[in-house]
């Protein structure tokens, strides 16, 4: 692994606003007087310095444009007029003061910092008539969707900052599954109205939402803005949609309760996301936290996530459309973040058809997150994920896998041996639709409780390749299982099993080296099998490997080297 010593300065810009005599003043960031938190990080790849937006000191208050706080009167026009005037006059700061504010979609403009004061609570209206159907994006593809609560397209030099809270009123949009609520909650939800699925297990907020999800055969064959109006509640938008924007800063605010994904920069460049709190109910359908999609050059630092789906997600488009777009997510530093509930703490995929490369991820904490580090795709996606560095990752109370690679996501279920985890899959021809995961480095991983330590489910025609795991202490029920991998190195691993079983099983894999390996609680140290297995090297930190704790299938015995 070649490491290029490069230093990047990550700046977190702290904005301040001072109120007095009905005038608002914001710090002039064109001449940086604001406090900068500078973190110098040596990176294993070359990365340009992230460009941070700068703004004129000119400040506009939404109150001066007719916004009325602490009522249900919509402030949509006032907020958007203030943003429009600010942008047209050369840019500056638009301030939302403390108070309860109700609004429809907010449309960002270039050279504007939308700054929220401490105590500002911005609630997006549940009146869906305020959200027009537009050509938009979701899960990597162009689709017809409703306008996002916050949106911006083809903008430059923009920011949303401060200590305010943006609430997307997602319950007006989202379906809910019965298994994610208590009996009492489910009963109250049904009493509120809405429509149940035929099996009674999913609640929809309206008939249109139900048809749009459950009876798609009833939808127009050629959807248009006009003919999809009755079903618009099924076309849930992401909450913060920023498309093809440059020099973007999100700092300090809370984004919560989104209709679908929460924050989704798409095809953006030079992103600084810092000190954010991103929240969704744990039962929220498609309730992702942050989805960075086909973006390049940015940082995510000191953010907190508690969401209903994946938390920190890196994506780059889906299937043919993503491959043809050809915009990878690349050149990101992600560090000093905490994830509470989420399906995955840090995730790449499954929409990664445009590729993902050159990411440095450091100092993340997952507490009660369903899965820790999650990498997922499926045949048909294509795309290459490579050059990913992850270090200093801590996990506590992980219900499933601490680290998981699944190249069968949304694909046909495959049969696993209940003891060894071995799978046998037919090899397919390699093409542009074959996904590839390679060149990934994991160091200093500490897990206090997980169902499984590590699970890799590669595909035979493109095994998960060149992974390095170094300095790991993991307490889990199940150990390590690998299928269809190549060039996998383990060094200094301390595996502590809470249930007896196999510490590490290797199937249909090649060039695997395990050294300085320590296990406790197991009743079998290693299992190795699979017709395609070659060049396996095993070493334990114990004085001698006890051979009755090592099981080698007859077909691989001459391919396994045990180092005492």
Number of helices and strands in the chain (H, E): 4, 43
Scanning 41-196, the segments in alpha helix (DSSP H) are 76-88, 183-191
Residue of 167, 343, 370, 401 with catalytic role: 343
Residue 212 is encoded by which pair of tokens?
């749009």
Q: Report yes or no: 229 and 207 within 8 Å, Cβ to Cβ.
A: no
- Give the CA angle between residues 170, 115, 105 to the nearest 5°: 35
Q: How would you classify the pairing of strands 59-61 and 240-243?
A: unpaired
115 is known as an active-site residue: no
343 is known as an active-site residue: yes
Give dist(CA 317, CA 322) in Å, integer. 4
Give dist(CA 265, CA 59) in Å, integer. 26
- Give the CA angle between residues 276, 92, 160 to the nearest 5°: 15
Phi then psi for residue 427, to 5 deg, are: -75, 135
Q: Report yes or no: 350 and 377 within 8 Å, Cβ to Cβ.
A: yes
Residue 49 is encoded by which pair of tokens?
């310095």
Helix (H) or strand (E) holding 208: helix 207-214
Dihedral sign of CA atoms 267, 49, 160, 310 in order: positive
Residue of 167, 288, 306, 309 with catalytic role: 309
What residues contact 533, with CB distance under 8 A and at least 6 apart?
506, 507, 508, 509, 510, 555, 556, 559
b/e sequence 447-462, b meaning 16+ C-beta within 10 Å:
bbbbbbbbbbbbbbbb
Give dist(CA 47, CA 34) in Å, integer. 25
26: three-class secondary structure by DSSP: strand
Q: Report yes or no: 15 and 34 within 8 Å, Cβ to Cβ.
A: yes
Give dist(CA 239, CA 258) in Å, integer. 5
In terms of Cα–Cα distance, which of 407, 359, 417, 394 is closest to 471? 394
Q: How would you classify the pairing of strands 106-107 and 150-153?
A: parallel
Scanning 313-450, the segments in alpha helix (DSSP H) are 319-325
Query: Would you tell me how many other CB atoms lie within 10 Å of the CB of residue 176?
Result: 22
Active site residues: 309, 343
């Amino acid at each position: 692994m070649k490491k290029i010593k490069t230093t990047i300065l990550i700046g977190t810009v702290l904005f301040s606003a001072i109120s007095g005599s009905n005038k608002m003043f914001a710090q002039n960031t064109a001449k940086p007087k604001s406090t900068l938190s500078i973190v110098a990080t040596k990176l294993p790849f070359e990365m340009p310095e992230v460009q941070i937006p700068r703004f004129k000191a000119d400040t506009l208050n939404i109150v001066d444009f007719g916004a009325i706080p602490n009522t249900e009167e919509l402030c949509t026009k006032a907020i958007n007029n203030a943003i429009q005037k600010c942008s047209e006059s050369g840019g500056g700061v638009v301030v939302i003061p403390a108070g309860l504010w109700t609004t429809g979609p907010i449309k960002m403009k270039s050279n504007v910092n939308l700054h929220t004061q401490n105590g500002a609570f911005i609630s997006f209206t549940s009146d869906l008539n305020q959200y027009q159907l537009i050509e938009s994006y979701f899960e990597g593809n162009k689709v017809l969707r409703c306008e996002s609560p916050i949106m911006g397209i083809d903008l430059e030099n923009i920011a949303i900052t401060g200590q305010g809270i943006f609430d997307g009123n997602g319950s007006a949009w989202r379906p809910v599954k019965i298994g994610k609520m208590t009996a009492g909650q489910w009963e109250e939800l049904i009493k509120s109205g809405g429509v149940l699925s035929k099996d009674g297990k999913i609640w929809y907020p309206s008939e249109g939402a139900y048809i749009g999800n459950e009876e798609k055969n009833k939808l127009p064959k050629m959807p248009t803005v006009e003919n999809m109006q009755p079903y618009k509640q099924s076309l849930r938008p992401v909450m913060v949609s920023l498309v093809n924007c440059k020099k973007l800063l999100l700092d300090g605010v809370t984004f919560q309760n989104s209709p679908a994904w929460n924050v989704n920069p798409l095809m953006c460049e030079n992103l600084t996301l810092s000190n954010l709190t991103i929240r969704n109910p744990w039962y929220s359908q498609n309730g992702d936290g942050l989805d960075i999609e086909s973006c390049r050059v940015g940082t995510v630092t000191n953010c907190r996530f508690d969401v209903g789906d994946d938390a920190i997600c890196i994506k780059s488009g889906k299937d043919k459309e993503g491959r043809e777009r050809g915009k990878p997510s690349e050149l990101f530093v992600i560090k000093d973040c905490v994830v509470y509930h989420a399906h995955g703490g840090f995730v790449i995929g499954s929409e990664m058809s445009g590729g993902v490369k050159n990411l440095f991820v450091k100092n993340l904490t997952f507490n009660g997150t369903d899965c820790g580090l999650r990498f997922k795709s499926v045949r048909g996606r294509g795309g290459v994920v490579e050059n990913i560095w992850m270090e200093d990752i801590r996990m506590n109370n992980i219900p499933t896998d601490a680290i998981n690679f699944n190249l069968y996501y949304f694909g046909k279920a495959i049969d696993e041996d209940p003891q060894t985890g071995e799978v046998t899959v037919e090899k397919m021809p390699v093409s542009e639709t074959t996904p590839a995961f390679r060149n990934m480095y994991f160091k200093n991983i500490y897990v206090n409780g997980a169902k499984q330590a590590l699970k890799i489910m590669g595909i035979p025609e493109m095994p998960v390749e060149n992974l390095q795991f170094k300095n790991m202490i993991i307490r889990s029920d199940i150990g390590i299982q690998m299928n269809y991998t190549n060039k996998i190195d383990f060094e200094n691993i301390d595996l502590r099993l809470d249930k007896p079983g196999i510490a590490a099983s290797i199937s249909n894999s090649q060039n695997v080296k395990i050294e300085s390996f320590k296990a406790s609680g197991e009743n079998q140290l290693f299992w190795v099998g699979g017709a395609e297995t070659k060049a396996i090297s095993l070493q334990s930190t114990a004085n001698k490997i006890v051979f009755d704790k090592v099981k080698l299938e007859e077909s691989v015995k001459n391919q396994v080297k045990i180092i005492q």
